[in-house]
Structure 1
Amino acid sequence: MSSPVWKFFSVAVEDNAFAICKKCSARVPRGGKNSSSFNTSNLISHLRGRHRGEDVLKEYEAAAAAAKVKSAKAKTPSVIVPIQRAFENAKKFSRDSEKAKAINDKVIEFIVLDDQPFSVVEDLGFRGLVQHLEPRYTLPSRRFFSDVSLPALYESVATHIHNLIDKNGLHISFTTDIWTSDVSPVSMLSLTAQWFDEHFNMQKVLLHAQECSGSHTGAMICEAFEAMLERWSITKDRVHVVLRDNARNIIKAMQDCELASLGCMAHTLQLAVNEAVLSQRSITDCISICRKMVGHFKHSQVATSRLQDLQKQLGMKEMRLQQDVPTRWNSTFYMLRSLLDQRRALAAYAVDFQLPAFLSIQQWTLIENMMTILDPCEQLTRDISSSTATVADVIPSIVALKRLLNKTVATDHGVKTSKTTLLQAIEQRFSHIYGEPLFYLATILDPRYKDCYFDQPMKREVTEKLQTMMSCASENVDEPKVKKTKTDGGNVSLLAMYEEILQENYDVTKEMTQSRTEGQINMYLSEPPIPRSESPLEYWKRNKSQFPDLASLARKYLSAPCTSIDSERLFSAAANVMDEKRNRIGCEKAEMLLFIKKNLPLMPNVTNRKDDGH
């Protein structure tokens, strides 16, 4: 009924199969007996035949033409627009389009952050994925990403790091180390930096992991180090300290550069443990047997399956034995602990199957007692290897460890000599820390420790040094009562030593003076130390306005780490960059990849990602 022809007809009342012409009252059939077959063809023919030349036909034709135009306009959006959109969707992005550039940026980020070789962009599966996600995007070649995208991203990140250093890096602490690749004849010299901004937020960046070719002499390292600092426009007066290992060439290099440097605490502790404990004949014999036992299961899947079956039968947790790395004493600790945990299963295995060696009852007891010596050392190693550990932790940790080793406990049987030797080794290797301002000033500026870990003469010296640095007259600190180390036969822990020392040495009677600087020092020291579990940075954020001069020094001295662990973690990441798939990659590109991976999370509008190297 929507046709314009019905303007001139009406349906017959007595029979709807006919229509009545309003002009001549003629009955015109509608094309059938059923409504499904009705049409308007006979009606239009009637107008054109019976009323040719009349106004009624002209009026109908005008109405029909108008209806046709209206119908065409109504169909255009639903038919023509999708066709246009389909053509647009099939058109490839130009290389200079914003969308193509954005996808290129994400691809190079994927390559860098996930340690992918540049050849991944030529892999069939990756290309298929990209084509499915965005058919209009044309994936460039590997050369484009390695020679164009990578340098561009490096420059962008480097500019941001430059700005961070120029804006906030007043006093910067560094770590450095040398690493040699296992898959290519390449050595790299690292340089990481960290500092606090004005709000006591820690900033950590990687500056270099550059090729270190030739002989690694002190002169060569010094020259490379000075070139790296110059590259970032960092003057030597802004270098607070450099954390390094204990190698003579690194020590000589820092002396030649006239830069303050400290040895890595973890390396020094490892030397002391190896020298005092793991070198004892009875203990080395036990460790040798333990390595043979672990090696038996490492090299035989059948033996491993049998051990797992025994663990199930005995209701023990299924776990594999850990193999140690001789150069890492704590890995030996973990190996011995895993053997002790599986002692019952190992004994049951030895009854039915042959082992290359097995420990005697006396040797098992010796290992158990030795673990009581090594456990606090392992705990200390974990503490100082954390990302928040600083040089302020060194003196308190060594004081607490020495006090623990001075305790006499029931588990000393058979290892008393080793325990005494370890104490002597620690005293000898860490004897310098009490005369090094970088250590003791950081300790007193840490609100968890303050001056509670110094004896009376040392307290006076440290306080005077602090006052001198703040350009004020020095004044002696009241003497606290000195308590002797207690000895008992019960179990003690490293954590208990921290609390014991704090209780003995915190003096609530310290008085204030009129001098602004002395007033700040005395007021700061008169407050009780904050719990060791709390953050010293949060303390200084809250109190920097109350102790502005001390806060300024804390920002400098607490920026120094106590280990070179950041460089070691960097080289763990380097091993993933220079692996079997990329064993021919050049050092320049490898450094770019490492630099971007470590520093990209610092860029604005980039989601922070934690990599397992740090």
Structure 2
Amino acid sequence: MLIYPCLLAQRSIADAIAVGRKIVGHLKHSALAYSCLEDIQGQLNQPIKRLQQDVQTRWNSTYYMLHSLIEQKRVLGVYVFEHELPDYLTAHQWTTVAILAPFEELTKKVSSYDALASDVMPAVTVLVRLLNRETDEDHGVKTMKATLLAAVKKRFSDVENNPLYFIPTILDPRYKDRFFSNNTAPEAKLHLKQKLQMMSRAEAEGSRAEAEEPPAKLFLKAQASTSSSLDTVFDEIAKEQPQAAQPLAAGAAIELDTYLREAPSPREDSPLKYWGVNKIRFPTLAKIARKYLAAPCSSVESERLFSSVSHIIDENRNSLTADNAEKLLFFIKKNNPATHFFSPLSESSEI
């Protein structure tokens, strides 16, 4: 995820990760040390679990490594009194690790197969609010939270001014205009209204040109075209009153006004299904939604696609033709709704 470099730039987090790798690496390379750790887990009536080693190129695995250390904190505390470890996390570093949970949850959300471009801006807004919020557990980590907050704001400073992000966010019925944090919602809605008017004008001109064609041509043309703390903040922002909207002109822009006046959809609902149901009520908005909501918010799913190829084309299937390999990968594994891996970019989209 794009937030990961912000985390690694923090010295306290980088130090905690380095210490965690030393601990896990020591126990992984010593069968005797791991046997002692498992004995302590049994004595403390803890489930027998192995610590997870991370892969440095995958942020999630780094978090899971640190999380596995937190789960075994009590066990490791007993172990370090009886045996030697190359290093150990300080009380401050244990707290630092706990703060990373929202980053991991958002990483999973925007890396999922059904994540849309509309998920980016709300994720950043929620993260900024969480880092701004003061809690009783902030003792000793306020500076780190402030540094993380500054890094996130800097990295995503222009996200609310980029139409590739703010247009799909407005057109996502779960978010609409509730997740703008820099008072940019009026300008974003004005920009979208102008696109609606341009689209309506273009369609009207196209209809007039088509109406002027001879009936024979029209006939031929017709024949040819036959989830935590994050959930709480998401709900909190969604229920807040939106900023006063600009007066909208008549025509397709009225669709936007009517759409924004309605309450946001539940976060677990599918925005694509919403537009499939409401495309008759908001025909022009639905066309723009189809265009902008089709974009994924990260490259994770495309990278997973390349990884999936290795499970289909191996030494036991080395005579597969390219055409058959494509069918196995896209039509069966990725685009079959029965496998829950259908893509919002497919031709069978609900919109």
Normalised-by-shorter TM-score class: 0.7 to 0.9
**TM-score, normalised to structure 2's length?**
0.79
**How far apart are 1:592 and its partner, in Å?**
5.7
**How far apart are 1:575 and its partner, in Å?**
4.4
Indicate the structure with greater strand content: 1
Q: 5 Å matches for 1:593-612?
A: 595-601=326-332
Question: Structure 2: how far apart are the matches of 1:406 and 1:603?
Answer: 39
Letter of the aligned partner of 1:274 in structure 2?
L
Question: Structure 2: how far apart are the matches of 1:431 and 1:313?
Answer: 51
Deviation sequence 1:61-93 (CA, Å, 0-9, x none):
xxxxxxxxxxxxxxxxxxxxxxxxxxxxxxxxx
Q: Please, what is the CA RMSD of the aligned residues?
A: 3.1
| Equivalent position to 1:565, from 280, 297, 300 | 300
Residue matched to 1:27? none
Instruction: Flag the 1:608–1:533 CA change in 2: closer, same or farther, 3 A.
Output: closer
Residue matched to 1:244? none
Larger Rg: 1
1:355 and 2:57 are equivalent in the alignment:
no
Residue matched to 1:505? 241
**How far apart are 1:598 and its partner, in Å?**
1.5
Checking the alignment, whether the CA contact within 8 Å between 2:7 and 2:13 is kept in structure 1 is no
SS at match of 1:453: coil
Instruction: Flag the 1:425–1:514 CA change in 2: closer, same or farther, 3 A.
Output: closer
**How far apart are 1:387 and its partner, in Å?**
1.5
Deviation sequence 1:305-336 (CA, Å, 0-9, x none):
33222212211112110111223333222111
Checking the alignment, whether the CA contact within 8 Å between 2:308 and 2:329 is kept in structure 1 is no
Q: 5 Å matches for 1:145-294?
A: 266=1, 268-275=2-9, 277=10, 280=11, 282-294=12-24
Instruction: Flag the 1:397–1:553 CA change in 2: closer, same or farther, 3 A.
Output: same
Corresponding residue pairs, total: 313
Letter of the aligned partner of 2:45 in structure 1?
G
Q: 5 Å matches for 1:7-406?
A: 266=1, 268-275=2-9, 277=10, 280=11, 282-359=12-89, 363=90, 365-406=91-132
Letter of the aligned partner of 1:504 in structure 2?
E
1:448 and 2:188 are equivalent in the alignment:
no
Letter of the aligned partner of 2:264 in structure 1?
P
**How far apart are 1:465 and its partner, in Å?**
1.5
**How far apart are 1:339 and its partner, in Å?**
1.0
**How far apart are 1:594 and its partner, in Å?**
5.2
Letter of the aligned partner of 1:598 in structure 2?
L
Checking the alignment, whether the CA contact within 8 Å between 2:186 and 2:245 is kept in structure 1 is no
**How far apart are 1:350 and its partner, in Å?**
2.9
Checking the alignment, whether the CA contact within 8 Å between 2:112 and 2:301 is kept in structure 1 is no
User: Gaps spanning 5+ residues in structure 2: where?
Assistant: 200-227, 342-351
Question: Structure 2: how far apart are the matches of 1:560 and 1:591?
Answer: 26
Instruction: Flag the 1:594–1:296 CA change in 2: closer, same or farther, 3 A.
Output: farther
Checking the alignment, whether the CA contact within 8 Å between 2:197 and 2:251 is kept in structure 1 is no
1:467 and 2:203 are equivalent in the alignment:
no
**How far apart are 1:397 and its partner, in Å?**
1.0
Instruction: Flag the 1:273–1:356 CA change in 2: closer, same or farther, 3 A.
Output: closer
Question: Structure 1: how far apart are the matches of 2:322 and 2:81?
Answer: 54
**How far apart are 1:452 and its partner, in Å?**
1.2
SS at match of 1:327: coil
Instruction: Flag the 1:336–1:511 CA change in 2: closer, same or farther, 3 A.
Output: closer
Letter of the aligned partner of 2:253 in structure 1?
E
**How far apart are 1:368 and its partner, in Å?**
2.9
Deviation sequence 1:576-608 (CA, Å, 0-9, x none):
4677x58xx79xx6966753331231899x995
1:543 and 2:269 are equivalent in the alignment:
no
**How far apart are 1:449 and its partner, in Å?**
0.8
Question: Structure 1: how far apart are the matches of 2:265 and 2:236?
Answer: 15
Letter of the aligned partner of 1:516 in structure 2?
G
1:556 and 2:294 are equivalent in the alignment:
no
Letter of the aligned partner of 1:271 in structure 2?
P
Residue matched to 2:230? 494
SS at match of 1:322: coil
Question: Structure 1: how far apart are the matches of 2:162 and 2:269?
Answer: 26
Instruction: Flag the 1:453–1:307 CA change in 2: closer, same or farther, 3 A.
Output: same
Instruction: Flag the 1:593–1:609 CA change in 2: closer, same or farther, 3 A.
Output: farther
Question: Structure 2: how far apart are the matches of 1:318 and 1:516?
Answer: 65
Question: Structure 2: how far apart are the matches of 1:594 and 1:413?
Answer: 55
Q: Looking at both structures, which has the greater relative contact order when contacts are Cα pairs under 8 Å and sequence separation is at least 6?
A: 2
Deviates more, 1:288-297 or 1:399-408: 288-297
Letter of the aligned partner of 1:572 in structure 2?
S
Deviation sequence 1:5-42 (CA, Å, 0-9, x none):
xxxxxxxxxxxxxxxxxxxxxxxxxxxxxxxxxxxxxx
Instruction: Flag the 1:592–1:459 CA change in 2: closer, same or farther, 3 A.
Output: same
Identical residues among aligned pairs (%): 40
SS at match of 1:431: coil
Question: Structure 2: how far apart are the matches of 1:456 and 1:283?
Answer: 28
Checking the alignment, whether the CA contact within 8 Å between 1:395 and 1:440 is kept in structure 2 is yes
SS at match of 1:424: helix
Checking the alignment, whether the CA contact within 8 Å between 1:384 and 1:390 is kept in structure 2 is yes
Indicate the structure with greater helix content: 2
Checking the alignment, whether the CA contact within 8 Å between 1:273 and 1:422 is kept in structure 2 is yes
Checking the alignment, whether the CA contact within 8 Å between 1:273 and 1:329 is kept in structure 2 is no
**How far apart are 1:358 and its partner, in Å?**
3.1
Deviation sequence 1:190-213 (CA, Å, 0-9, x none):
xxxxxxxxxxxxxxxxxxxxxxxx
Instruction: Flag the 1:601–1:459 CA change in 2: closer, same or farther, 3 A.
Output: same
Instruction: Flag the 1:396–1:345 CA change in 2: closer, same or farther, 3 A.
Output: same
Letter of the aligned partner of 2:326 in structure 1?
F
Letter of the aligned partner of 1:412 in structure 2?
D
